Structure 1
């Protein structure tokens, strides 16, 4: 692993405590787990909360954190508490100011919306605030201490040696796979993807599509209407709604896809695009999240305005109409991720920063 350090270079004391307050798996959880898997080789850390941890020995309770952090490190430096959610900022402030824990508080902000007054107040109590993209930085009331984009595990997300065979093995039909992944709801732009498929798939008989993700009860009617439209278009066998799949199955889906759409109205960062690019899939994404900063139009894929059906359909047809170019875009995307968006580089950048703020 590039830029890794040996265990001997770590102290015996815990230097970093990472918040893990949400019992529901989310994009923030996924990010934390991916970064943590590399950070644990760089710094002695604990995760405050046991949710979804592959290694339970890294978990630490709030009260154990209180006991441990009443004293500084032997070096005299403070530990760092890394919060990614508002409630974790609150936990950090309680630890620091009520229980007198010797902590430096860092908050990572990915949200792209105007913050409430209470959130602004909390963030101003942090010792440092990190933004995940230039766009998320623009929504902060004060300039961030650092902009640190997310990375992806390129060894977990890589293209199948033969995408056609990999797609066939998944059993969704056709010779070429395209898809949209994430929670199945209007905010994610799933209807835009489905409508583009309805308009285009008759022209491209080798292409089949998947819609991968959980369907909540509040979105059942929305999905049923999409399925009805697909059936009315005679495409029920070519556009598959998989429902929620086990997390460990997702990389195999990405690795077989040739085109991935990410059409959200808004996002925090949006790891989906990096995961797709890492798997050599061309990407079609909206002007949301960090996607405008990641995707090079015409090289890795295309960017379209939010909620613009005509633009989605036009760019999807442009991608599907030249399969050789589609493959080239996928390879370009993989190169970009390897050079700019590896999670191990994100982990090291964060650890270096944490140690610099003492």
Structure 2
């Protein structure tokens, strides 16, 4: 592969960019988070730059006024890779390649686990390569695809050096154990299931408290208010803590002894991997890629979607059995580091790009 590009926000020259990672959504989302984590790792090996709003200035970035430069070949390749992750980004790539005749090849990553619309299928058929983030996702695609599962930054998400350090670092009581549920606060994410599980479990377990980290936006604010009232009515307001959006989320994972992912629907879902990389056992519903993340790991338990009784039973087992919890914690850490390092995802994608370039040289 040609040279690399430092992962910094300095202005880059279009001619030096071999891969463009567009991000056309200003609001933070799972896709945006993937780009933020992945591009710096990819940039260690090849010249890649982002394009679009909603991204930190620390990433290598093209500006909108530089887009006409994409109509010319890069300095060291026969064409660029345009790696889209949403419909508008696929459409922009098709326009660049097929209308403006830009020298680009189109790659699309899909995390969706539902039947695609006709419009989405139309766009996907025009991609040069398609990536699925899980085997389940690949099953919804009607074209050939390659499974490349998301990885996790195991340097950023790592266990505390001592058991009490994690809780103390975020101002929590070191004599309590904490079970967490992190992510946007909304029904789709199952936050209400987590709250109801805690209302059932905590009264008989005075050594445990719960942490909910995440934001309730717009129409979901009333949902969060209702959950807080449920907690207050159960007399648990001091032990089920709503801490809002956190920029220091790895520190909050280090405060946990158990993580619950109660989602009713998910595309991929990184939170179980973030917990496992921190050495925290996981109880997760069977949605998204959770079953594939936990597969053969010994890192926790999978429960049916929307099954509160099963969630309570599984969480209770881990909360009550320190040996089981410790064994699962070690397995979780080993599994995340062995199977889901971020560099592994970056290398797999970079290898896919290299295949496209090699094909052009034959």
Identify whether the pair has TM-score above 0.5, normalized to the shorter chain. yes
**Structure 1's 62 and 308: CA in aligned 2 closer, same or farther, altered over 3 A?**
same
TM-score by length of 2: 0.91
After TM superposition, give the deviation of residue 355 of structure 1 in Å.
Answer: 1.3
Q: Which runs of 4+ in 1 moved over 4 A?
A: 4-8
> Unpaired segments of 5 or more residues in structure 1?
none
Which piece of structure 1 moves more, 331-340 or 290-299?
A: 290-299
Q: Show the counterpart of 2:196.
A: 195
After TM superposition, give the deviation of residue 7 of structure 1 in Å.
Answer: 4.8
Residues 21 and 48 of structure 2 are in contact (CA less than 8 Å); yes or no, is this contact kept in structure 1? yes
Q: Show the counterpart of 1:61.
A: 63
1:36 aligns to 2:39 (yes or no):
yes
Q: Show the counterpart of 2:163.
A: 163
Q: Show the counterpart of 1:315.
A: 314
Deviation per residue, 1:179-200 (Å, 9 max, x gap): 1000111111111111111111
Task: Report the Cα distance in structure 2 between the residues aligned to 1:111 and 1:168, rounded to whole angstroms.
Answer: 38
After TM superposition, give the deviation of residue 163 of structure 1 in Å.
Answer: 3.0
Which piece of structure 1 moves more, 305-314 or 226-235?
A: 226-235
Task: Report the Cα distance in structure 1 between the residues aligned to 2:338 and 2:138, rounded to whole angstroms.
Answer: 23
Q: Show the counterpart of 1:143.
A: 144
Task: Report the Cα distance in structure 2 between the residues aligned to 1:295 and 1:5, rounded to whole angstroms.
Answer: 36
After TM superposition, give the deviation of residue 76 of structure 1 in Å.
Answer: 5.5
After TM superposition, give the deviation of residue 141 of structure 1 in Å.
Answer: 2.0
Task: Report the Cα distance in structure 2 between the residues aligned to 1:96 and 1:18, rounded to whole angstroms.
Answer: 15
Residues 4 and 47 of structure 2 are in contact (CA less than 8 Å); yes or no, is this contact kept in structure 1? no
Matches within 5 A, 1:259-274: 259-274=258-273
After TM superposition, give the deviation of residue 295 of structure 1 in Å.
Answer: 0.7
**Structure 1's 261 and 345: CA in aligned 2 closer, same or farther, altered over 3 A?**
same
Task: Report the Cα distance in structure 1 between the residues aligned to 2:311 and 2:267, rounded to whole angstroms.
Answer: 21
**Structure 1's 298 and 76: CA in aligned 2 closer, same or farther, altered over 3 A?**
closer
TM-score by length of 1: 0.92
After TM superposition, give the deviation of residue 6 of structure 1 in Å.
Answer: 7.7
3-state SS of 1:334 partner: helix
Instruction: State the structure with bigger RCO (CA 8 A, min sep 6), 1 or 2.
Output: 1
Task: Report the Cα distance in structure 2 between the residues aligned to 1:28 and 1:264, rounded to whole angstroms.
Answer: 17
Residues 2 and 76 of structure 2 are in contact (CA less than 8 Å); yes or no, is this contact kept in structure 1? no
After TM superposition, give the deviation of residue 207 of structure 1 in Å.
Answer: 0.7
After TM superposition, give the deviation of residue 54 of structure 1 in Å.
Answer: 3.6
Q: Show the counterpart of 1:223.
A: 224
Count of residue correspondences: 348
Residues 14 and 46 of structure 1 are in contact (CA less than 8 Å); yes or no, is this contact kept in structure 2? yes
After TM superposition, give the deviation of residue 40 of structure 1 in Å.
Answer: 0.7
Residues 79 and 103 of structure 1 are in contact (CA less than 8 Å); yes or no, is this contact kept in structure 2? yes
Residues 4 and 43 of structure 2 are in contact (CA less than 8 Å); yes or no, is this contact kept in structure 1? no
After TM superposition, give the deviation of residue 160 of structure 1 in Å.
Answer: 0.8
Task: Report the Cα distance in structure 1 between the residues aligned to 2:262 and 2:345, rounded to whole angstroms.
Answer: 25
> Unpaired segments of 5 or more residues in structure 2?
6-14, 358-362
Q: Show the counterpart of 1:106.
A: 107
Residues 3 and 46 of structure 2 are in contact (CA less than 8 Å); yes or no, is this contact kept in structure 1? no
| RMSD of aligned alpha carbons | 2.1
3-state SS of 1:163 partner: coil
3-state SS of 1:105 partner: strand
After TM superposition, give the deviation of residue 218 of structure 1 in Å.
Answer: 1.1
